[in-house]
Amino acid sequence: MKTDLRLYGFMGETEPESGLLPAVVLSQQKDLYRVICENGETSARVSGKLRFAAERPEDFPTVGDHLLIDYQRDGESRIEKLLPRRSAFQRLDPSSSGHAAQTAAANFDYVFVMQSLNQDFNPRRLERYLTLGWQSGGTPVVLLTKLDLCGDPELMIAQACALAAGVDVLPVSAVTGEGLEEVRALLAPGKTAVFLGSSGVGKSSLVNALMGSEVMDTGGIRQDDDKGRHTTTYRQLLLLPTGGCVIDTPGMRELGMWDVRGGLEESFADVTRFLGQCRFSDCTHGNEPGCAIWEAIRDGQLSRTRWDSYRKLQKEAKYADDKEAFLRDRQQKHKSIAKYQRTLKKSGKVKY
Ligand SMILES: Nc1nc2c(ncn2[C@@H]2O[C@H](COP(=O)(O)OP(=O)(O)O)[C@@H](O)[C@H]2O)c(=O)[nH]1
Ligand SMILES: [Mg+2]
């Protein structure tokens, strides 16, 4: 029987090119991919042509990506084409000393922003995750985990709801199963969720609870262990018995702020609605007269903490931008220094 790729979120939006089959990436270990196509699972590598055409690290496939492959029944298939992504997480590529983006997961519908109710709950981090969530193109959903360990979750739930305006907030327990029905209801067939949360928050436990079996190791085993000790490094996109999919990728932990400007607009709508309303169009929101931000803070229409958080995240986003520009400038400078030295050498003014 042929595998129905619609279960993996592939809606057949493209005309397959002659001889190529649509496929979805289940996992990746360096250059080797595990993908699923109508004939089932197969190993695959990027073709020479696609590798040659790839200009940036983002142009390489990642977990959740939709592809066209040259299927080989025996041996490795070849990935010939990467199809457009409807959502993606960029993270700073650790091998590039933090100045290039890399895609960590693609084509998900929901971003499960996870914090635990017993010790991990941190409003500032929640804001950061929500911003990243919006920016990815997915819909964030807040999952407050370990409900069974928290005697009085009401305050934290209310706090999360206040920060995450317009976003569902679901308290869950992987141990008692409370709240799992609400999570399953979101993950209808063809829908995919990706998890965003610190180590130990309960991502793998939730995957196991949703799967109904122990597919993931839990309990703080290092997830990005190169030796592949952890099952997460092997299997990253999982099909749930109820039809939806989850992505629990080890790379999500190192997510840096990349370009969050789009996400900031949405997760800080309560702040941005006051922007552009100051007396001076170039107001820096310092101590100029007629600053709409400070008026809103004084009137109690805008919270000071929210304004500070917004400024902080904005600065981080700018830093990521600037770092790129900085490196470009530096490279340019080195080039012109080298050119200048060559001219000097030719003119005989200096001897090396
Ligand atoms: N009591 C309780 N413990 C949980 C729950 N979810 C996870 N844990 C525990 O928290 C620890 C970390 O969970 P794990 O799923 O490995 O977190 P991950 O690092 O985010 O994948 C493990 O010891 C789990 O048993 C929960 O809902 N209730
Ligand atoms: Mg885990």
Proximal ligand: closest to the CA of 199? 1
What's the rounded Cα separation, in Å, for the pair 103 and 259? Answer: 13
pLDDT attached to residue 303: 93
Q: Which band of pLDDT confidence, cut at 50, 70 and 90, is reported for residue 233?
A: very low
Ligand 1 geometric centre to CA of 219 (Å)? 6
In terms of domains, do 327 and 224 share one?
A: no
Ligand 1 geometric centre to CA of 114 (Å)? 12
Ligand 2 geometric centre to CA of 196 (Å)? 11
In terms of domains, do 303 and 286 share one?
A: yes
In terms of domains, do 122 and 209 share one?
A: yes
Ligand 2 geometric centre to CA of 67 (Å)? 27
pLDDT attached to residue 335: 60
Quick count: other Cβ atoms within 10 Å of Cβ 51?
A: 13
Proximal ligand: closest to the CA of 249? 2
What's the rounded Cα separation, in Å, for the pair 198 and 206? Answer: 14
Domain presence at residue 262: no
- pLDDT surpasses 90 at 257: no
* Cβ 53 vs Cβ 95: under 8 Å: no
Q: Which band of pLDDT confidence, cut at 50, 70 and 90, is reported for residue 228?
A: very low
Domain presence at residue 315: yes
Atom of ligand 1 nearest to the CA of 208: 15
In terms of domains, do 55 and 105 share one?
A: no
In terms of domains, do 278 and 348 share one?
A: yes
Ligand 2 geometric centre to CA of 270 (Å)? 34
DSSP character at residue 287? S
Domain presence at residue 215: yes
Proximal ligand: closest to the CA of 205? 1
Proximal ligand: closest to the CA of 195? 1
Atom of ligand 1 nearest to the CA of 114: 20
pLDDT attached to residue 225: 42
Atom 24 in ligand 1: residue holding the nearest Cα: 219
Atom 9 in ligand 1: residue holding the nearest Cα: 202
In terms of domains, do 30 and 97 share one?
A: no
Ranked by mean pLDDT, which of 4-13, 115-124, 127-136, 166-175 comes out on top?
A: 166-175
| Domain finish residue from 56, 84, 112 | 84
Ligand 1 geometric centre to CA of 200 (Å)? 6
In terms of domains, do 166 and 65 share one?
A: no
Atom of ligand 1 nearest to the CA of 145: 27
pLDDT attached to residue 51: 92
Return the CATH number at 61.
Answer: 2.40.50.140
In terms of domains, do 34 and 93 share one?
A: no
Return the CATH number at 152.
Answer: 3.40.50.300
Atom 22 in ligand 1: residue holding the nearest Cα: 219
In terms of domains, do 163 and 217 share one?
A: yes
Domain presence at residue 261: no
pLDDT attached to residue 345: 62
In terms of domains, do 135 and 104 share one?
A: yes
In terms of domains, do 166 and 228 share one?
A: yes
Please name the residues in contact with 122: beta carbons below 8 A apart, sequence gap of 6 or more.
115
What is the per-residue pLDDT across 145-165, written as a single tens digit (0 to 9) for each?
999 999 889 999 999 999 888
| Domain finish residue from 228, 254, 280 | 254
Return the CATH number at 327.
Answer: 1.10.40.50
Q: Is 80 helix (H, G, I), strand (E, B) or coil?
A: strand
Domain presence at residue 260: no
pLDDT attached to residue 42: 96
* Cβ 199 vs Cβ 125: under 8 Å: no
Ligand 1, residues at Cβ distance < 6 Å:
145-146, 148-149, 173-175, 197, 199-205, 218-220
Report the length, in residues, of the chain.
Answer: 352
Domain presence at residue 23: yes
Instruction: Indicate the top mutation candidate among 117, 205, 235, 253 to test ligand 1's pocket, ranked by most ligand atoms within 8 A of CB.
Output: 205
Instruction: Indicate the top mutation candidate among 207, 218, 221, 246 to test ligand 1's pocket, ranked by most ligand atoms within 8 A of CB.
Output: 218
Of the listed ranges 94-103, 194-203, 218-227, 298-307, the one predicted with least confidence: 218-227
Task: Provide the domain limits for residue 314.
Answer: 268-352
Global confidence as pTM = 0.74
Domain presence at residue 196: yes
In terms of domains, do 217 and 307 share one?
A: no
Ligand 2 geometric centre to CA of 352 (Å)? 57
Atom 25 in ligand 1: residue holding the nearest Cα: 219
What's the rounded Cα separation, in Å, for the pair 249 and 175? Answer: 22
Please name the residues in contact with 43: beta carbons below 8 A apart, sequence gap of 6 or more.
32, 33, 34, 35, 76, 77
pLDDT attached to residue 209: 95
Average pLDDT over residues 219-228: 47
| Domain finish residue from 36, 59, 84 | 84
Ligand 1 geometric centre to CA of 206 (Å)? 8
Q: Is 262 helix (H, G, I), strand (E, B) or coil?
A: helix
pLDDT attached to residue 223: 44
Domain count, the chain: 3
What b-and-e string marks burial along 274-312, b requiring 16 or more CB atoms within 10 Å of the CB?
beeebeeeebeeeeeeebbbbebbeeeebeeebbebbee
Domain presence at residue 36: yes
